Amino acid sequence: MKYKVIFSSGNFDDSEMIMIGIKYDVLILDEKGNYFNPQFIALDRINGVFVKNEICFLLEDLVILHTVSRENILKSISELHSWRFTERWLPVNESILVEHFYPIENWLIIEVDV
C-alpha cells in the first residue's frame, strides 16, 4: 500500500514544530484518492498515559507523538495503516480541502510504502 503524506504549507522547520508540538496541516492521500487530515500533537502538550516505546497513540483523528517532527509523522503512517485509519476516519471533503489546504503548489509530498 502506498500513501502520500502531504505537508500542505510546504517544507517546515522541525525545530519549530518540536517547540510548538502541534502539526495540523498534514494530509494523507490513499490509493483510492481519499484525503485524511490527522492532527499530530506532542505528548508534552497533553496529560495522558502513553507508553514510552510506542510510536504513536491513536484516537479519532488525533495522533499523539512523543515529538512532532517530519520523521515521526512519516514513521507513524505504517501504524496508522495497521490501525486501518481509512476505515475509522472520514475523508476530508473537497470543499474543506480547497478552503483550508490549497494552493497545491505549496504542498510538500512524500510517498510512504507500508
Entry pTM = 0.86
Q: Which residues form the domain of 90?
A: 2-113
Contacts for 60-67 with beta carbons within 8 Å, 24 or more apart? Answer: 60/89, 61/36, 61/37, 61/89, 62/38, 63/38, 63/39, 65/40, 65/41, 66/42, 67/18, 67/21, 67/42, 67/43
Site of grid cell 483510492: 32
Instruction: Kindly state the DSSP code that residue 62 receives in the 8-state scheme.
Output: E
- The parts of the chain modelled with pLDDT lower than 50 are none
The total domain count for the chain is 1
**Per-residue pLDDT tens digits for 21-43:** 888 899 999 999 999 999 999 88
